[in-house]
Amino acid sequence: MVKKAEKIWFDGKLVPWDEAQVHVLTHTLHYGAGVFEGIRAYATVDDKSAVFRLREHVVRLFDSAKIIGMTIPYTVEEIETAIIETLRVNGLKEGYVRPLVFIGDGVMGVHPGGNPIRVVIATWPWGAYLGEEALEKGIRVKTSSFNRHHVNVMMTKAKACGNYVNSVLAKTEAVADGYDEALMLDTQGFVSEASGENIFIVKDGIIKTTPLTSVLPGITRASLMQVADDLGYKVVEQIFTRDELYIADEAFFCGTAAEVTPIREVDNRTIGEGKRGPVAEKLQKEFFNIVKGGNSDYVQWLDYYEI
């Protein structure tokens, strides 16, 4: 269960959690044309709090809306301020932030007509998405029977609500089969991403991730590419196949919710030594250090706030 916070920001007002309700004829509820974000705030080493890469997340929200053809009735700055305000009013020193832009009720039918564009920002405390143990020991993954979207069916650069039907199908299949997460291939058969994470592999010291063609442009992905490069690793964006993943020295998923989660097994094949590898461990350690304000070289990625 989501741990309730006190208030939710709803169309410019902070309303009590239980009163953030919509009508059942809300357009997005029926047709899935909405966009959202997933953002994390962390308690920092100097006893403050900081939102990780706030600007990049809010810009992606606006980009997603543009792709879907929705106009958000606020500015980037207004949404940023609202996110910080919502965290503060809920007394959250750390937690997850979920902005959602959706089409409200009015006309029904696929064309949304002049229905209002509505915006909510919810925040709640949220620990490790795939479990604390997963961060250390790694997870078991299964290649999904569902492909990731073809780029001309659903546009994967939008973090669009409807895109996640594909993720829900893949994730529930993987969990029902006893795995932790689903790996999806694109419609050509190359490795794409997981239900809510981007993927990296490591082979002979080279770090590889998929190009952005059929995946969400992950902000954690971009951050890790930068950090790995700064640490002196060679990082490449290149298509790869599932068998290349099977024989990788290491593999890991990344995302705002999943942070840096090592993969210990794919399709019942052990990856590397079947535990968190040294590159994943190093990047994970550095990632947590950065998000908690422990490395001043990356302070520009943090928006500090005080409760």
Active site residues: 159
Tell me if 45 sits within 8 A of 10, measured CB to CB.
no
Binding of residue 214 to ligand PMP (CB under 6 A): no
Q: Is 261 in the site for ligand PMP (CB under 6 A)?
A: no
* 219 lines the binding site for ligand PMP (CB under 6 A): yes
Candidates 81-89, 96-104, 196-204, 280-288: pick the segment binding ligand PMP (CB under 6 A). Answer: 196-204
Instruction: Judge contact between 7 and 86, C-beta under 8 A.
Output: yes
Query: Coil, strand or helix: which one is 187?
Result: coil
Q: CB of residue 60 vs ligand PMP: minimum separation in angstroms?
A: 7
Does the protein bind ligand PMP through residue 277 (CB under 6 A)?
no
Name the DSSP class of 20.
-
Nearest-approach distance from CB 16 to ligand PMP, in angstroms? 27
Instruction: Using CA atoms of 294, 288, 158, 242 in order, give the dihedral in degrees to the nearest 10.
Output: 140
In the complex, least distance from residue 23 CB atom to ligand PMP, rounded to whole angstroms: 27
The interface mask with ligand PMP, positions 106-145, x = CB under 6 A, is ----------------------------------------
Among 210, 214, 220, 261, indicate the residue that binds ligand PMP (CB under 6 A): 220
Query: 298: closest CA among 246, 239, 230, 242?
Result: 230
Contact in structure between 291 and 39 (CB atoms under 8 Å): no
Q: What angle is formed at CA 251 by the lines to CA 246 and CA 252, rounded to 5 degrees? A: 140
- Residue 286 · residue 231 · CB < 8 Å: yes
101 in Cβ contact with 118 (< 8 Å): yes
If one asks whether residue 259 binds ligand PMP (CB under 6 A), the answer comes out as: no
Q: Does 196 bind ligand PMP (CB under 6 A)?
A: yes
Interface residue with ligand PMP among 181, 193, 250, 265 (CB under 6 A) is 193
The reply on whether position 34 binds ligand PMP by CB under 6 A is no
Tell me: does residue 216 bind ligand PMP (CB under 6 A): yes
Contacts of 13 (CB under 8 A, 6+ apart): none
Residues that bind ligand PMP (CB under 6 A): 38, 167, 193, 196-198, 215-216, 218-221, 255-256
